[in-house]
Amino acid sequence: MAESRQDKFVKQIDFSAGNLAAKWKMFKDQFSVYQVVKGISKMETEDEKICHMLVSMGSEAVPIYNQFIFDDSDANKKKTLKNAIKFFDQYFEPVKNVIFERSIFNVMKQEPSESIHSFIVKLQTQSENCEYGTMRAEMVRDRIVVGVRDIELRKYLIDTDNLTLELCIQKAKQYVANQLQAEKMGSQTQSNASADEPSNIDVVFQEKKKAQKKSGDKSSMQDLTEQCKKCGKWKHYAGRCPAESSRCNRCKRIGHWGAMCLSKKRMEDKKISEVEEQDDILDSLYLGSD
């Protein structure tokens, strides 16, 4: 017959390795819920109830159970499910070193990849071994404040008046949720902005950035907003000018085109200078004739 969802809820105890005390505690918590769902408490005999628990624990629980000595004359040792659970408590309960357990608790901090929820659960679980009594809630609260990784969250919790454990947990979870929402909104805004058509300046900047990444040398970049002095064109990169291997048709030198030839400019400046000089001579002759 197929196993029901209720039957899957309780996991059998793995007796092979690990912390058996912790495994027993987890099983006991699950079985207490399972009893209600399956109506075990309403079964006619205590033997039926105990057998149901042993089946849920696994076959390796039977030899342990057989070691227990029940006594019908003693209410605390009478063969009942409640007393059977007490015997298992005694069997699985290790020798507890409270100082050691507290030393672990007092240095617990939120790990880099650990959520705030997981960190709080871990603190509460460890605090159960520390025997803090009525101080337990305050100790867990203080450890949350000290142990969270986000410094701003720590300041926020410290500045909260009348901070109880319940309020501390609520504030911490709300703060983290707000941070995640803000990051998500920021990502959407950035995504929408990148979808818009870029301006001409953005195009130039992106072209420069791509060329810089490709060449790996900032010094080889030509300002795309400047006209090339070799070919006279715009928007290309140093080392990729089409005129670098061309021969000038004016000065016959290699490395530029005639339109940008400096020899041409010098010749034109010389001609202008000669014309101006001749005009000055003519003017002086004309004035001297008077």
**Whether 10 contacts 27, CB under 8 Å:** yes
Q: What is the pLDDT of residue 70?
A: 92
Other beta carbons within 10 angstroms of residue 139's beta carbon come to 18
- Does the predicted model carry a pTM greater than 0.85? no
> At which of 51, 76, 92 does a domain end?
92
Please give the Cα distance from 31 to 85 (Å, whole number): 11
DSSP state, residue 238: T
**Whether 29 contacts 61, CB under 8 Å:** no
* Residue 20 within any structural domain of the chain: yes
3-class DSSP assignment, residue 140? helix
> At which of 92, 118, 135 does a domain end?
92
* Residue 14 within any structural domain of the chain: yes
Q: What is the pLDDT of residue 221?
A: 46
Please give the Cα distance from 118 to 140 (Å, whole number): 14
Q: What is the pLDDT of residue 108?
A: 96
**Whether 38 contacts 9, CB under 8 Å:** no
Please give the Cα distance from 56 to 210 (Å, whole number): 65
Per-residue confidence in pLDDT tens, the chain, 290 aa: 445 555 667 788 888 867 788 888 889 888 888 888 777 777 778 898 899 899 989 999 999 999 999 998 888 899 999 999 999 998 888 767 889 889 999 999 999 999 999 999 999 999 988 989 999 999 999 999 999 999 999 999 999 999 999 999 999 999 999 988 888 887 776 666 555 545 444 555 565 566 555 555 444 444 554 678 777 776 566 667 877 777 887 787 888 777 777 775 556 655 656 655 555 555 554 555 44
Q: How many alpha carbons fall within 13 Å on the CB side of residue 282?
A: 6
Is 84 in the same domain as 109? no
Domain that holds residue 146: 98-180
Tally of domains within the chain: 3
> At which of 158, 180, 202 does a domain end?
180
44 phi and psi angles, rounded to 5 deg = -70, -45
Q: What is the dihedral of CA 219, 225, 227, 228, to 10 degrees?
A: 30
CATH code (residue 145): 1.10.1200.30
Q: What is the pLDDT of residue 2?
A: 47
Is 65 in the same domain as 118? no
**Cα 196 to the center of its chain, rounded Å:** 28
* Residue 196 within any structural domain of the chain: no
Q: What is the pLDDT of residue 165?
A: 96
Residue at token pair 């390796």: 60
* Residue 209 within any structural domain of the chain: no
* Residue 268 within any structural domain of the chain: yes
Is 148 in the same domain as 109? yes
